[in-house]
Chains A and B, each alone.
Chain A
Amino acid sequence: MTAMSDDGPSRRAVLAGAGAALLAGCTSTREREVMDSHDRVDPDVRVRAAVVAEVRRLAALYDATLAAHPAMRPVVEPFRAETAAHLSALGGRSPTSSPSPGATAASRAPVVPTSAAEAQALLARAERSAADALVGQLGNASPGLARLVASVAASEAVHAALLGVPR
């Protein structure tokens, strides 16, 4: 079986990323225009950002779950580790590696059920809904990014299935 697609960030995507950073200081009146030109340059930038946000939410839920239920580690750790691998393949950092102080970050901290069984069920549901959200992002992705995002979504579907089955 031969794969014929360009995985990883293209030169174009890298340049677009640098452009986005340089343009971050633009005034709000120009923001729409900047976003538009952004889309024309490379829609992958937006897709990647949406997917990273989705996977980061999962990573944060795993961290919060392990903090609340340390005894769940043997079951949960392999899935948490794969989620971290997804983030790094997508070019995002894990939430713990980039603490963002402030009320908004605190208010978004996930709430973990007190029962371990319910906490595990919540993880399974979160994985399933992340997999669906990622499929929803595929339409605008280049072939190379679609390949990575679909693979990550499939891994999340596997996590949901394995976490959802009582063991």
Chain B
Amino acid sequence: MSSAATEVGALQAVLAGEHAALYAYGVVGARLRGRRRAEATAAYADHRSRRDEVRALLVERGADPQPAAAGYRLPAPVRGAREAVGLAVGIEERLAAVWLDAVARLRGELRELAARALQDTAVRAAAWRGSGDAFPGLVDP
């Protein structure tokens, strides 16, 4: 694969992840109140900015940014606040793995951008979880 094709493939993969995260945070926010709800709203805004940034990068490269799916299947039913926080942790942890794949596939400035996005997603996961993570995004360190 050419490096341009690799770049576009890596960016489309993180775009798909950000689309899914936006969908999930819509569900998360609806089940939370007060401070937690405000955090979910802030996270939603962060993911929307990332999504727009990645879309713009794809357009710059002459690629067609893939749209969000019509629907997403949640890993588990989200009936209350506890499940909502669990979904937020899960989506951020999975997204960390997606961004870390992008770090490996991209070069130069795009690799740095992916590394920064990984940090943001790891910080949000830790905030929801209340604890750190020695190797965010790494399945098998």
A and B found bound together: yes
Would you call A89 an interface residue if the criterion is a C-beta within 8 Å of the partner chain's C-beta atoms? yes
**Majority SS at the chain A contact face:** helix
- Render B93-108 as a binary contact track against A, CB cut-off 8 A, 1 for contact: 0101110110111011
- Which of B59-67, B81-89, B114-122 lies at the interface with chain A? B114-122
A138: which B residues are within 8 A, CB to CB? 103, 111-112, 115
Task: Tell me which of A1, A4, A147, A158 contacts B122 (CB under 8 A).
Answer: A158
A153/B100 in contact, CB under 8 A:
no
**Whole-angstrom distance between the Cβ of B137 and the nearest chain A Cβ:** 5
- Which of B26-34, B50-58, B123-131 lies at the interface with chain A? B123-131
A89 to B122 Cα, complex, angstroms: 19
A152 to B134 Cα, complex, angstroms: 7
- Which of A30-38, A78-86, A91-99, A111-119 lies at the interface with chain B? A78-86
A154/B132 in contact, CB under 8 A:
no
**Majority SS at the chain B contact face:** helix
A146: which B residues are within 8 A, CB to CB? 103-104, 111
B108: which A residues are within 8 A, CB to CB? 139
Indicate the size class of the contact surface on chain B.
Answer: 20 to 34
Task: Tell me which of A135, A150, A161 contacts B100 (CB under 8 A).
Answer: A150
B105: which A residues are within 8 A, CB to CB? 143
**Whole-angstrom distance between the Cβ of B73 and the nearest chain A Cβ:** 15
A86: which B residues are within 8 A, CB to CB? 134
B116: which A residues are within 8 A, CB to CB? 135
B122/A155 in contact, CB under 8 A:
yes
Q: What would 11 more interface pairs be, CB under 8 Å, given A78-B131, A146-B103, A151-B100?
A: A85-B141, A138-B111, A146-B111, A147-B100, A147-B138, A152-B135, A154-B136, A157-B119, A158-B119, A158-B122, A158-B132
Interface residues of B (CB under 8 A from A): 94, 96-98, 100-101, 103-105, 107-108, 111-112, 114-116, 118-119, 121-123, 126-127, 131-141
